[in-house]
């Protein structure tokens, strides 16, 4: 399968998608000053990794593989945390992955599309597609756990303030989560303006609390030496390996640095990490470690116990706000990834609402929002606490990281053409780190890790089934299609022409659309001007307007038109048609009819897909959003004609 031929939908009423011309510079790239972009990045990019101190160190010592709270283990764990941040976040993501941009955009789907443009039939082309879909599938599993564990861990701080408040923790956390998902339909632009300043304050508090604790016990700074991590493995190898499953909680959200590159740019993300986020996080982790060396019993809640007693309630409020911001970023990311998957043909058309007239990226997808809410609340109720949820957290994160490393390795060798004596050691180190963390997290499967894995498997099956089903459907339709030149010669002589323009939406850039054949068969007429329209989603984020429209004159007032968009853009067919000047008089919506073909799938025993997958594809096809809304067609100018296709 390949995303090159993916579209918003499989049927003749949808957009076809073929790898097209390279687009110009990405539209909508950030142009604000560096300080403003850094502030924005703090709230969106670093929300998830910034809330990890609430639970990461605690879970490493009290989780499903507990450790003694003594100096060797505290120093060993903190050394692992620091060098994991340097290897995974600073080296892999900040230094390398941020260079792997697809016209300014990042993320698994953008990287997959970038590699596919360079595949050209090479052996790794199909591998990239599978790895990209796998990474996208695992992301959905992560999207469910992050809001639940983040908000729960913050609200649990109330028990440090007052133990009797424990019974309020779960209801309050669920109430916050429900409110967060309910407000998504209204857009987050206004609230989002507060994200950066609140997160900056949060990181400042992290740094100050950590620094004060370090000042009381400076010996904790010895943990920055890698020999403590090495000694931990040499003296207690099994426990050290198992501890990796909790240490990785300190870097969850690192992939957001790459995924959100298109929103803020490479430099603001890098500078924010090096000057603000990394120092604040490490000061806080080291501060927690210093507290544990002095008071091992503080492992019950080292984050909140760092603060003086009179300020802990304020810290709970600030931490809760930070976790809500982190959850918002994950939800918005889920919307964005879903839209990219729809555009690139891995999901059927979904209802996508724009919540801002100025910002193209401000979108809301109802089915994704309510599905996430249901699963997040189910998780919170089922697991009950952030500690229990931590047992389920990590598999999808480390799986996504490992998938990213595989695609990065292909990019380094096949596209960037690094010298092998440099490339092999770099790739080997990244594989060693990611594979170790992923393998360690597999031990969490019985304790809850099965849940995100199950979500990932379901998402993978649906993504691959839709992509494969579309390929088969388009193949069957192409087999039955009549050549357009023969049709024009025959129909132009015999059919009555009526005034107006008829636009026939078709996924194929060749042959006669089924809707055109059905219209002629039933209505016995052809419009004065016939446009066979294919909407192409290129494997680049944005396509410039000067490259948007391609028109071919087929003769007899028949035209084949291709509209090109990037996978970060929303197709708007009427707006594009108003720009057309090369197929006769200007196209007026009041004189134009849009004909869509809605296919009904007939599963069969023909080679292609297993029968159960054909039935799943048929169900997804029936529930796809109407092409009329997806392509923003005028509701009173659309005619749908049905047909049956057997695959």
3-state secondary structure 542-574: CCCHHHCEEEEEEECCEEEEEEEECCCCCCCHH
Within a domain: 540: yes
Range with the poorest average pLDDT among 4-8, 122-126, 146-150, 546-550: 4-8
Of 438, 468, 498, the residue that ends a domain is 468
Residue 317: which residues within 8 A CB-CB, separation 6 or more?
none
- At 86, list the tokens: 């340097």
d(CA 619, CA 632): 24
Please check whether residue 539 lies inside any domain of the structure: yes
* CA–CA separation, 389 and 392 (whole Å): 5
Same domain, yes or no: 420 and 487:
no
The packing angle between helices 189-216 and 278-294, to 10°, is 40
For 483, other C-beta atoms within 10 Å of its C-beta total: 11
CB distance 383 to 416 below 8 Å: no
> Do both 429 and 520 map to the same domain?
no
Answer whether residue 623 shows pLDDT above 90.
Answer: no
According to the model, what pLDDT value does residue 288 have? Answer: 96
- Read off the pTM: 0.85
On whether both 344 and 491 belong to a single domain, the answer is no
Say yes or no: 462 and 338 in one domain. Answer: yes
User: What percentage of the chain carries pLDDT values higher than 70?
Assistant: 91
Whether residues 490 and 449 fall in one domain: no
For residue 101, tell me if it sits in a domain: yes
Residues 367 and 433 in one domain: yes
Same domain, residue pair 385 and 528: no
**3-state SS string for 156-192:** CCHHHHCHHHHHHHHHHHHHHHHHHHHHHHHCCHHHH
Helix (H, G, I), strand (E, B), or coil: what is residue 333?
A: helix
What residues contact 403, with CB distance under 8 A and at least 6 apart? 108, 131, 132, 134, 135, 138
**Is 386 in the same domain as 499?**
no
Per the structure, the complete domain to which residue 541 belongs is given by 483-646
pLDDT reported for residue 330? 87
Q: Residue 30: which pLDDT band, with cuts at 50, 70 and 90?
A: low
Q: Is residue 333 part of a domain?
A: yes
pLDDT interval class at 340 (50, 70, 90): confident
In a domain, 543, yes or no: yes
Query: 522 or 468: which carries more pLDDT confidence?
Result: 468
Is residue 14 a part of any domain in this protein? no
Residues 167 and 265 in one domain: yes
Q: How many CA atoms lie within 13 A of 268 on its CB side?
A: 25
- Give yes or no: residues 248 and 359 share one domain: yes
Does residue 11 carry a pLDDT above 50? no
Rounded distance between C-alpha atoms, residue 570 and residue 567, angstroms: 8
Res 102: pLDDT: 85
Q: Give the span between the Cα atoms of 536 and 548, in whole angstroms.
A: 9
Question: pLDDT, tens digit, for every residue of 248-279?
Answer: 999 988 888 888 888 788 899 999 999 999 99
Determine the average pLDDT of the residues in 612-621: 88
Q: What is the pLDDT of residues 317-336, one digit of tens each?
A: 999 999 998 888 888 888 88
Domain boundary among 405, 434, 468: 468
Mean pLDDT of 583-599: 87
Residue 193: pLDDT band by 50, 70, 90 thresholds?
A: low
Report residue 49's pLDDT band, with 50, 70 and 90 as the boundaries.
Answer: very high
Q: Are residues 462 and 611 in the same domain?
A: no
Is residue 489 domain-shared with residue 527, that is, in the same domain?
Answer: yes
Sorting pLDDT into bands at 50, 70 and 90, what band is 599?
confident
Which comes out higher in pLDDT, residue 320 or 3? 320
Residue 253, domain CATH:
1.20.1740.10
Q: Check pLDDT > 70 for residue 10.
A: no
Q: What is the average pLDDT score of the chain?
A: 86
Assigned domain for 13 exists: no
22 located within any domain: no
Which residue in this structure is represented by tokens 């076809």? 16
The total of structural domains in the chain comes to 2
Structural domain ending residue among the three candidates 423, 443, 468: 468
């Amino acid at each position: 399968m390949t995303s090159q031929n993916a579209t918003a939908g499989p049927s003749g009423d949808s957009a076809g998608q073929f790898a097209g011309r390279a687009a110009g510079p990405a539209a909508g790239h950030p142009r604000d000053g560096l300080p403003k972009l850094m502030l924005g990045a703090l709230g969106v990019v670093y929300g998830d990794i910034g809330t990890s101190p609430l639970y990461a160190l605690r879970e490493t010592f009290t989780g499903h593989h507990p450790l003694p709270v003594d100096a060797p283990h505290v120093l060993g764990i903190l050394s692992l945390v620091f060098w994991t941040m340097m290897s995974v976040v600073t080296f892999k993501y900040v230094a390398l992955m941020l260079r792997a941009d697809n016209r300014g955009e990042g993320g698994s789907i953008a990287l997959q599309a970038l590699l596919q443009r360079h595949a050209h039939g090479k052996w790794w082309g199909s591998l990239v597609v599978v790895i990209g879909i796998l990474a996208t599938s695992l992301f959905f599993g992560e999207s469910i756990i992050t809001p639940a564990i983040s908000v729960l861990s913050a609200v649990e701080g109330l028990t440090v303030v007052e133990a009797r408040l424990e019974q309020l923790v779960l209801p309050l956390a669920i109430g916050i989560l429900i409110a967060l998902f309910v407000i998504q339909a209204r857009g987050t632009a206004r609230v989002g303006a507060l994200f950066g300043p609140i997160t900056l304050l949060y990181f400042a508090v992290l740094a100050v609390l950590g620094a004060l604790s370090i000042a009381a016990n400076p010996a904790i700074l010895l943990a920055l030496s890698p020999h403590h991590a090495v000694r931990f493995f040499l003296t207690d190898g099994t426990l050290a390996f198992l501890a990796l499953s909790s240490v990785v909680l300190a870097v969850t959200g690192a992939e957001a640095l790459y995924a959100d590159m298109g929103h803020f740019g490479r430099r603001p993300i890098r500078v924010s990490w090096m000057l603000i986020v990394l120092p604040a996080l490490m000061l806080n982790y080291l501060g927690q470690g210093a507290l544990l060396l002095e008071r091992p019993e503080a492992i019950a809640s080292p984050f909140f116990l760092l603060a003086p007693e009179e300020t802990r309630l304020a810290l709970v409020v600030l931490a809760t706000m930070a976790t809500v911001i982190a959850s918002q970023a994950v939800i918005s990311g889920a919307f964005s990834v879903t839209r990219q998957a729809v555009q690139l043909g891995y999901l059927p058309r979904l209802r996508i609402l724009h919540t801002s007239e100025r910002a193209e990226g401000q979108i809301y997808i109802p089915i994704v929002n309510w599905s996430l809410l249901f699963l997040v609340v189910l998780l919170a109720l089922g697991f009950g606490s952030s500690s229990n949820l931590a047992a389920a957290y990590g598999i999808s994160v480390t799986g996504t990281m490992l998938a990213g490393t595989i695609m990065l390795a292909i990019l380094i060798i096949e596209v960037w053409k690094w010298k092998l004596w440099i490339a092999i050691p770099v790739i080997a180190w990244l594989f060693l780190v990611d594979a170790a963390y992923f393998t360690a997290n597999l031990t969490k499967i019985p304790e809850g890790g099965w849940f995100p894995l199950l979500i990932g498997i379901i998402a993978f099956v649906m993504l691959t089934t839709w992509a494969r089903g579309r390929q088969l459907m388009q193949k069957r339709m192409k087999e039955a299609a009549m050549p357009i030149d023969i049709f024009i010669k025959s129909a132009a002589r015999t059919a009555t022409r009526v005034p107006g323009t008829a636009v026939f939406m078709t996924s194929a850039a060749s042959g006669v659309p089924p809707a055109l054949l059905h219209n002629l068969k039933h209505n016995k007429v052809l419009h004065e001007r016939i446009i066979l329209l294919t909407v192409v989603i290129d494997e680049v984020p944005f396509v410039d307007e000067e490259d948007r429209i391609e028109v071919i004159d087929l003769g007899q007032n028949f035209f084949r038109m291709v509209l090109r968009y990037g996978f970060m853009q929303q197709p708007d067919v009427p707006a594009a048609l108003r720009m057309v000047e090369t197929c006769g008089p200007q196209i007026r919506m009041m004189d134009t009819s849009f004909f869509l073909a809605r296919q009904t799938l007939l599963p069969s025993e023909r080679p292609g897909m297993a029968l159960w997958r054909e039935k799943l594809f048929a169900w997804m096809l029936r529930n796809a959003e109407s092409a009329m809304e997806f392509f923003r067609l005028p509701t009173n100018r659309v005619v749908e004609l049905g047909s049956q296709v057997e695959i």
